[in-house]
Every structure is written in structure tokens, then in C-alpha cells.
Amino acid sequence: MPTTMITTAKQEDIPALTRLWMESFQDEEAGVNRFMEARFRPEQTLLYREGGAVEAALYLLEGALRTAAGQAYPAYYIYAACTRPHSRSRGYMGMLLEAAAEQGIKDGKSFLALVPASEGLFRYYGQRGFTTAFSKKELCIGRQQLQRIAAPGAVSCQPSATAMAALWGWAFEGIDCFLWDAVALDYALSYHGQYGGKAVFCEKEGQLSAFALFCEEEGACLVTECCAPEGSFPRLAALLLEQTDLDFFRLQLPLCFPLSADACRVVQTGMLRPLTREGETAMSRLKNAYIGFTLE
């Protein structure tokens, strides 16, 4: 009988992992290679092997859940979980998720986090210990409305990923949110650009004050990330208007973001699985939690 086992990865597994990724997600090889170069950590990559062949895999990325009270809980974000098409519905991913929980506990993590790519996957992960915990609002406004919000004097800049991470942490103080480090944000920005996305960065007094990631699709400017502390959005809006001549803007925002519109809906985005008693307690108190830069 073929040997089956769950292990962490090795450097020599990269070619097999790349093929598995491309077969599962139909991504271009250049994009997968970029992940392998920037984010691949063998000890944080779990594989399901059968007869020596890699049949399923998932990647554990570093992050943290920070509560509105300021307490941070270390977490693993599960990324690019995939199974070879002909090997699906055999329970391989379920076993990998349990292995991820065991790895998280071993490494002192309080949570596993992920963003399902479809409604069906919310149900799938819900049956495996995950609970919906993150949401966002999507609203649509016209160009004229954004022009009324925009303020003059906006200055663009090109910040470091470290500056982006610092602003992210500051902008979301006082709300339940997921925190990313500079390495994660640098990769997220690269990934966004790989698929034609754009970004605007606004500075004030020589410091990064706000930023947004966006793309143009279906005749609208889709803002997928917006990090704008109180008072900074008007200048950021001015930069957005400079970057596109489209008449409609669809913005994906934290629920607490001080912007509203008639066309607005709340969307569930991410899930958590607590790994410790402290994690369970913290999760029970979450309200309007936000997760971004998830590359789902």
C-alpha cells in the first residue's frame, strides 16, 4: 500500500508545490515563483503526501489578532490551501487543517485565521472548527460625491512596507482587527500589482498618512483596501480622483469607516479558529472585526 503522511515541506518540494498551486488555482508560474521567493517557509508549509507525491498543501503565514482593548494574540493565517483536483473529497484537507491547529498550538499561536473564497467554503471550514469573525462593508458612490469629499493639497509618496505596517497598526487602534507585518504588506502590494492593481499613497508633513489599493473593473474603480486614519480620507480621495477618470467608485471598507452611501452592504469575509482558552474568550468579545490584505 502507498505510504500516506503529513509533513512540513523541504526546499526540494518547491517544484511539486508550484505544480500543485498552478493546477489548483490556474495562477501563472511567475506569480507562484514570487510567493516561493518571498513568503515560502518550509517549516510553516504543511503537506499531505501519498506514495511520496504531494497531494495537498497549505501555507501558514504570521499575523496577529488585536482586540479593541489593545491585546494582541499571535495567529497563523492559512493561505493557498489546495488539493490536487483528482484527489479532492478524500479528507486530505481536513487532516491538514487539524495538523495546522496542532502546529499552531506548538508554536504558541492563539488562532488560525483564513478567508474563504466562496460561500460553500464558509460552510466547509465551519464544519472544521472555524467561525465567521470578520466582515466589511461595500459601498458605491459616484465621482461627484467623491469630489465633494476630496480636499485640496494632497501629496503623493512612495513609502516603505515598514511605514505601511506602522500606519495600519495605528489606523485600526481601538477596533478588533488582524495585524500584518511589513513582510506581509510588501508581498501583498506586489501581488496586487501583479494582477494589474494600482495604489495611491498620501503623505502629510513628510509622513505616510493614508493609502489605498484599487483596480479598474466593470466600469468602476474598485478600492479593495483603504487605510485612512481619521481626517485623512479627503486628501486620499483627491489622489484617487487623479488616478482614474471613472465615474463610479466601489469601496470595501471596515464597518467602522466613517463613510456611508445609499448603496451599501455588509459582507462576511474571514473566519477564526481559536486554539487556546484565551483565544476563545477573546473571540467571544469581537465586534465588527476587520481583516485585510488577505489575497484570497
Tell me the C-alpha distance between 296 and 269, whole Å.
10
- Nearest 5°: phi and psi at 82? -150, 155
pLDDT given at position 3: 58
Query: How much is the mean pLDDT over the chain?
Result: 94
Q: End-to-end CA distance of the chain, in Å?
A: 36
Q: Which residues pair with 77 in a beta bridge?
A: 61, 113
- Helix, strand, or coil here: 62? strand
Tell me the C-alpha distance between 72 and 242, whole Å.
37
C-alpha distance from residue 225 to each of 148, 170, 222, 261, 270 (Å): 21, 15, 9, 17, 15
Cell of 111: 488562532
CB 83 within 8 A of CB 56: yes
Tell me the C-alpha distance between 19 and 54, whole Å.
10
Cell of 93: 484537507
CB 222 within 8 A of CB 250: yes
Whether residue 296 is predicted with pLDDT greater than 70 in this model: the reply is: no
Averaged pLDDT for residues 74-79:
97
Q: Which residues pair with 112 in a beta bridge?
A: 76, 273
Tell me the C-alpha distance between 229 and 172, whole Å.
8
CB 236 within 8 A of CB 155: no
pLDDT given at position 1: 41
Q: Which residue has the higher pLDDT, 110 or 262?
A: 110
Whether residue 2 is predicted with pLDDT greater than 60 in this model: the reply is: no
* Nearest alpha carbon to residue 242 among 138, 153, 141, 137: 153
* Nearest alpha carbon to residue 203 among 141, 252, 256, 160: 160
Exposed, middle or buried: residue 274 (CB in 10 Å: 0-12, 13-18, 19+)?
buried
Domains and CATH numbers, the chain: 4-134+270-284 (3.40.630.30), 136-265 (3.40.630.30)
Averaged pLDDT for residues 228-235:
95
Question: pTM here?
Answer: 0.94
Tell me the C-alpha distance between 98 and 80, whole Å.
16
Averaged pLDDT for residues 178-205:
92
> Given pLDDT bands bounded at 50, 70 and 90, which one contains residue 260?
confident
HSE (side-chain half, CA atoms, 13 Å) at 253 = 21
